[in-house]
Amino acid sequence: MPWLPTPPNYSKTEALTDLSSGLTLGILLIPQAMAYGMLAGVDPVYGLYAALVPMLVYALLASTPHVSVGPTALASLLCLNGLSGIAEPFSAEYLGYVIVLAALTGLLQLLFGLCRFGGIVSLLSRPVLSGFVSAAAVLIIVSQLDTLLGIETSGGGYLHQTVFSLWENISGLHLPSTLLGIGALFLLFVAQRWLPAKFPTMLVLLVASTLVVGFWGGSWGVATLEKIPSGLPQFSLPAFEFTTLQQLLPVAAVMALISFIETLSIGKAFSPQHNYYRVLPNRELVALGISKIAGSFFQAIPTSASFSRSAVVEGAGGRTALSNVAAVVLLVAVLLYFTPSFYHLPISVLAAIIIFSVRNLFDFAEMKRLWRLAPKELFTLLITFFFTLFAGLQYGIAGGVLLSLFFVFLRAARPHLAELGRVPGTNAFRNVERFSEAEAEQDVLIVRFDAELYFGNAEYFRDQMEALVRQRGEGLRAVVLDGHTINDIDTSGVFVLTGFLDALEKQGTELCLCGMIGPVRDKLFQCGLMERMGAEHHFLSIQSALVYLDDKQNDRGWDSPAVQHA
């Protein structure tokens, strides 16, 4: 497979389609980049900077040609939420922290990629990610209401702080800004309903609102972008200090994880539709890391992958990295020649674009699905959702991860254990609680344990087995443990199994093991338990164990497959 994913027999016609899709991407990216720069707490031009070098570097290093990297709502909100307590947003000091944060996030991703830690994506389950992103959508929308309505507020990193500040200052609502913002939001929804998906609604809205304010709004008092610097960003090294790195590391770690999960999810959504590339997690980490580090040398804010912009590239027929390169060229032209045109652009319209762009991040469909299928996972989602809203983004994601790990451990510590009975007329054995027709043996207890037997569940296994034995009383002749689903056993598991055997022997009850897989048989042999039990207590199937228990004349020597070991 070539370094840059390219379809076979790539033609000039396809190259022209790539250029066209790239221009479409650039047209969508211009308003979003400025809006997300403002959301991050910096001047909008830094959002445009973040769409230059990071996008170009990522496109040249990534394993997928359809993912578009640049400023995103979630990355910007993480940036604002993590840094607003350290420095004042829109200040020079704050900008310095933002650029260092981008570099540090990229460095973490690069290290993870080089160490082949692509599996870290498993730290966030789907419910945790859905709850976190849904909460972030709520925070983003609420955080933009003051700008949309022209209200001056003190803001806050938490939902209750922002809402309280809005309520306190609602009397300061600025009517012209409100009309422009709400009108822009209304037009975006109307355009989505009635205009083709490829129509550059946001760009047209920016141009129209800028012209309206420029020609007629001089006395309205509407806040605008005013002067945006022309030209390309200058090369400069981020100002690293050890104390700064300590302050930013928790935010960078969360951002690195979220950015990687977003990118990988988007890439895997598109790759099945195209058979000329596959998404490589470790390569994606390296590409993301280097793109952020390179971007920080050119004053780029933290970046991530955008699903909406990636969908535009794929939907417009983009096939290679040329699409992203074409978008970069368009942005260069805008920065060199057209930034003065944004002087009268009302920031309430940018707030409307942010609100419109993040509305679909709220995943109500996933909540309904989990309500039907997995209430415990819905609980995980909701805990993450509310924790993120009221405790902060970093703690929200950390809490969600810990909650997921808790449920993983809980499931591992309390695995499924079932008493089995014979289905009449067959040699099939099923759970007697699930299959009412299954008949349990009168003097033989048959149990299936559906997990590895290890330190985390060994005590639970012994307690459950002893309880079942007590229920059967003194007439119990043998216990048959079906081990087909026991995929491993550690020393704690061996210790508990040995203790259970001791207890059975004291009451004159036999223990038979059947269906144990090779690695488990190896452990039983190495610890001496297999030899102690004897070859006559190991079987390939439950049926063969029952046959032997009824007629012990069968030869059960050490050449039996049931005791084969390494």
Listing DSSP states for 452-469 in one string gives -B-TTTHHHHHHHHHHHH
Q: What are the helix (H) ranges across 299-439?
A: 307-315, 322-337, 347-358, 364-373, 375-391, 393-413
Identify the weakest region by mean pLDDT among 274-288, 385-399, 424-438. Answer: 385-399
Supply the Cα-derived Rg of the chain in whole angstroms: 31
Identify the weakest region by mean pLDDT among 70-84, 265-279, 445-459. Answer: 265-279
The reply to whether 353 and 500 lie within a common domain is no
Mean pLDDT (whole number) for 2-20: 87
State residue 542's pLDDT score. Answer: 94
Range of 147's domain?
A: 12-407
The reply to whether 558 and 486 lie within a common domain is yes
Cβ neighbours around 175 below 10 Å, total:
11
Instruction: With CA atoms as reference, report the closest residue to 521 among 507, 533, 506.
Output: 533
Is residue 96 assigned to a domain?
Answer: yes
> Which residue pairs from 453-456 have beta carbons closer than 8 angstroms and sit at least 24 positions apart in sequence?
453/486, 453/488, 453/489, 453/490, 453/493, 453/496, 453/497, 454/488, 454/489, 454/490, 454/492, 454/493, 455/490, 455/492, 455/493, 456/409, 456/412, 456/413
- Whether the per-residue pLDDT at 553 is higher than 80: the answer is no
The reply to whether 269 and 193 lie within a common domain is yes
How far apart CA 102 and CA 301 sit, in angstroms, is 6
Average pLDDT, the chain: 89
More confident call, 154 vs 398? 398
Mean pLDDT (whole number) for 463-468: 95
The reply to whether 34 and 180 lie within a common domain is yes
The reply to whether 396 and 441 lie within a common domain is no
State residue 554's pLDDT score. Answer: 65
Summarize pLDDT for 290-314 with one digit per residue, the tens.
Answer: 999 999 999 999 999 998 889 888 8
Confidence tier at 125 by pLDDT (50, 70, 90): confident
Mean pLDDT (whole number) for 515-539: 93
Summarize pLDDT for 424-434 with one digit per residue, the tens.
Answer: 989 899 999 99
Is residue 7 assigned to a domain?
Answer: no
The reply to whether 373 and 519 lie within a common domain is no
- Whether the per-residue pLDDT at 232 is higher than 80: the answer is yes
The reply to whether 485 and 389 lie within a common domain is no
Number of domains in the chain: 2
Contact 563, 538 (CB under 8 A): yes
The reply to whether 242 and 215 lie within a common domain is yes
Summarize pLDDT for 176-185 with one digit per residue, the tens.
Answer: 999 999 999 9
Confidence tier at 1 by pLDDT (50, 70, 90): low
State residue 157's pLDDT score. Answer: 61
State residue 518's pLDDT score. Answer: 93
- Whether the per-residue pLDDT at 534 is higher than 80: the answer is yes
CATH number where 473 lies:
3.30.750.24
The reply to whether 382 and 428 lie within a common domain is no
Summarize pLDDT for 15-67 with one digit per residue, the tens.
Answer: 998 998 898 898 889 989 998 999 999 999 999 999 999 999 999 999 999 99
Summarize pLDDT for 141-167 with one digit per residue, the tens.
Answer: 888 888 898 888 766 667 887 888 888
Mean pLDDT (whole number) for 382-395: 83
State residue 156's pLDDT score. Answer: 60
Place of tokens 């939902």: 159
Q: Phi and psi of 329, rounded to 5°?
A: -60, -40
The reply to whether 432 and 402 lie within a common domain is no
Confidence tier at 555 by pLDDT (50, 70, 90): low
- Whether the per-residue pLDDT at 123 is higher than 90: the answer is no
The reply to whether 400 and 438 lie within a common domain is no
Confidence tier at 12 by pLDDT (50, 70, 90): confident
Confidence tier at 361 by pLDDT (50, 70, 90): confident
State residue 95's pLDDT score. Answer: 95
Which residues make Cβ contacts (< 8 Å) with residue 161, sequence separation at least 6?
Answer: 155
3-state helix, strand, coil in the chain (%, to 5): 65, 5, 30
Is residue 6 assigned to a domain?
Answer: no
More confident call, 248 vs 554? 248
Is residue 291 assigned to a domain?
Answer: yes
Consecutive H or E run containing 172: none
Is residue 3 assigned to a domain?
Answer: no
State residue 492's pLDDT score. Answer: 95
Q: Which residue, 407, 436, 466, sits at the end of a domain?
A: 407
How far apart CA 24 and CA 11 sit, in angstroms, is 20
Summarize pLDDT for 314-332 with one digit per residue, the tens.
Answer: 887 889 999 999 999 999 9
- Whether the per-residue pLDDT at 540 is higher than 80: the answer is yes
- Whether the per-residue pLDDT at 403 is higher than 90: the answer is no
State residue 372's pLDDT score. Answer: 92
Place of tokens 């808790």: 406
The reply to whether 354 and 299 lie within a common domain is yes
